[in-house]
Structure 1
Amino acid sequence: MSSAFPPLEPRGSVLGDEVYQLLGQAIIDGTLAPGQRLRDQDLAADLGVSRTPVREALQRLEFSGVVEVLPARFTRVSAPTDKSQSDLFELVGYLMGITLHMSLARCDDETHARLVGEADTLVAASLADDYEALIAASIDFFTQLTFASGNTAVLKFMREAQIAIRRNLRAWRPGVACPIHRSDLYQQFRDAVARRDATTGEAVLREIHGLGRAAAETVDG
């Protein structure tokens, strides 16, 4: 593990966040694999920091579900289950729809244009039938959407959940397998975003995610 992380340069109060982000990214990209044991003293030595920010980071990662602690035994990277992933996909699908309402109602024209551009990228990735590009575009869109909402509760939730979301989304697949139909839905979604029509956008988004199909079918007429 000593070669996995470069030493951090302490930057005061943000050091704990730096450790959290670095360990979280290592879990996302597999540098720290499911089942791998995490020893705070080893991680602290690798990063060149005290054990306190490492322990704080591990507690946050445990709260988000990507790390598990077995009392009096050890701490390790958790392994995603089918249930944990499906639950997260469902949450993200519904949360994106709720956030869409807040964001489209209050974002300025510049932010709105960025959201439309991100939606264009979603359409392009779907047309190319490129799941990796589609996942990356979905993360980028949801990130922009979260900030555009201006809602501190959503921002705080996403700050703590984003590592678990990003790790699990690597296994996500749209609820619509046919690239033609799926891309048509993404185009409908993009057009709804452009019109600031959150109601239609949410319904189409749920169809894409395999949620609330009946509501989305009404959009198709």
Structure 2
Amino acid sequence: MPTPLPHGIHKRSLLRDDVYESIRDAIVDGTLGPGERLRDPELEKWLGVSRTPIREALLRLERAGLIIAKPGHATIVAPLDPASTVSAQQVVAAMHELATRLAVPSMAGDQLAAMTEANGRFSDALGHDDVELALAADDDFHAVAVGACGNDMIPLVLEQALPLLRRVERQRFGSQAARHSVSAHAEIIRLAGMGDAEGAALATRENWLSLGAGAER
């Protein structure tokens, strides 16, 4: 059998991902608030796409716990649920702990420098109360270990769990308590620079778990 021609497959895949990310980001940043009803015609008008990629995106968002869909009834943005947030936090912390443990033994100077630079941007963003830049810098900091760990399953799991936690992060990164994470990042860099994979991994885990303890990451 000849290999089928990929008519539109890649374009459709990119469109589907774009639609998913647009709705996901609007939920995470609060544009679409908890309990808000999601109507297909409004989403179609906003995103300029047909109903099919929207329905596919909503299914993914439901699996991620960001929306609640009741067949024959309304589809709404999921309320902030402390139990679900804690579950997501535990998974995210475990994945970043594993990524750090795997990455540190082979971590090079340029990767440590990238973490240091990202933490500097993180500190500056917090100092200017810029939540968007703080989140981006925090992502860049943790992405170094995830990218260097060599385990392709870790980013897939994080993609599923992190959006639930990100809604809480956005609310708390505007507080001065988030300054705690600057020193926590610095300690992770110090331990990684010493080649202490176990210490850096545990420090990374505590960095993520501290989000629920009143001392933000």
Q: What TM-score, normalized by structure 2, do the two folds share? A: 0.73
Residue 36 of structure 1 corresponds to which residue in structure 2?
A: 36
1:104: Cα distance to partner? 2.0
Asked if 2 retains the 8 angstrom alpha-carbon contact of 1:189 and 1:201, the reply is yes
Q: Structure 1 residues 149-158 or 19-28, which shifts more? A: 149-158
Using a 3 Å threshold, how does the CA distance of structure 1 residues 140 and 178 change in structure 2: closer, same or farther?
closer
| Distance across 2 between alignment mates of 1:15 and 1:67 | 20
Tell me, yes or no, if structure 1 residue 165 matches structure 2 residue 165.
yes
Q: Which has the higher contact order (CA 8 A, sep 6+)?
A: 2
| Distance across 2 between alignment mates of 1:87 and 1:75 | 23
Tell me, yes or no, if structure 1 residue 190 matches structure 2 residue 183.
no
Which structure 2 segments of 5+ residues have no match? 1-9, 211-217
Residue 17 of structure 1 corresponds to which residue in structure 2?
A: 17
1:66: Cα distance to partner? 0.7
| Distance across 1 between alignment mates of 2:64 and 2:121 | 29
| Distance across 2 between alignment mates of 1:111 and 1:67 | 37
Q: Structure 1 residues 195-204 or 23-32, which shifts more? A: 195-204
Using a 3 Å threshold, how does the CA distance of structure 1 residues 145 and 167 change in structure 2: closer, same or farther?
farther
Tell me, yes or no, if structure 1 residue 141 matches structure 2 residue 138.
no
Q: What amino acid sits opposite 1:156 in the alignment? A: L
Q: What TM-score, normalized by structure 1, do the two folds share? A: 0.72
| Distance across 1 between alignment mates of 2:152 and 2:164 | 19
Q: What amino acid sits opposite 2:92 in the alignment? A: V
User: After superposition, what is the alpha-carbon deviation per residue over 1:123-154, rounded to whole angstroms, capped at 9, x for unaligned?
Assistant: x4699697947655433322333222232111
| Distance across 2 between alignment mates of 1:198 and 1:127 | 28
Stretches of 4+ aligned residues off by more than 6 angstroms: none
| Distance across 2 between alignment mates of 1:111 and 1:182 | 19
Residue 81 of structure 2 corresponds to which residue in structure 1?
A: 81
Residue 199 of structure 2 corresponds to which residue in structure 1?
A: 200
| Distance across 2 between alignment mates of 1:87 and 1:17 | 25
Q: What amino acid sits opposite 1:187 in the alignment? A: A
User: After superposition, what is the alpha-carbon deviation per residue over 1:158-217, rounded to whole angstroms, capped at 9, x for unaligned?
Assistant: 2333433322322458xxx696x8765543222112233221112333444557xxxxxx
Residue 215 of structure 1 corresponds to which residue in structure 2?
A: none
| Distance across 1 between alignment mates of 2:117 and 2:139 | 14
1:39: Cα distance to partner? 1.8
| Distance across 2 between alignment mates of 1:30 and 1:208 | 24
Q: Structure 1 residues 101-110 or 181-190, which shifts more? A: 181-190
Q: What is the RMSD of the two structures over their aligned residues, measured on CA atoms?
A: 3.2
Residue 4 of structure 2 corresponds to which residue in structure 1?
A: none
1:28: Cα distance to partner? 1.4
Asked if 1 retains the 8 angstrom alpha-carbon contact of 2:103 and 2:150, the reply is yes
Asked if 1 retains the 8 angstrom alpha-carbon contact of 2:92 and 2:161, the reply is no
Tell me, yes or no, if structure 1 residue 114 matches structure 2 residue 114.
yes
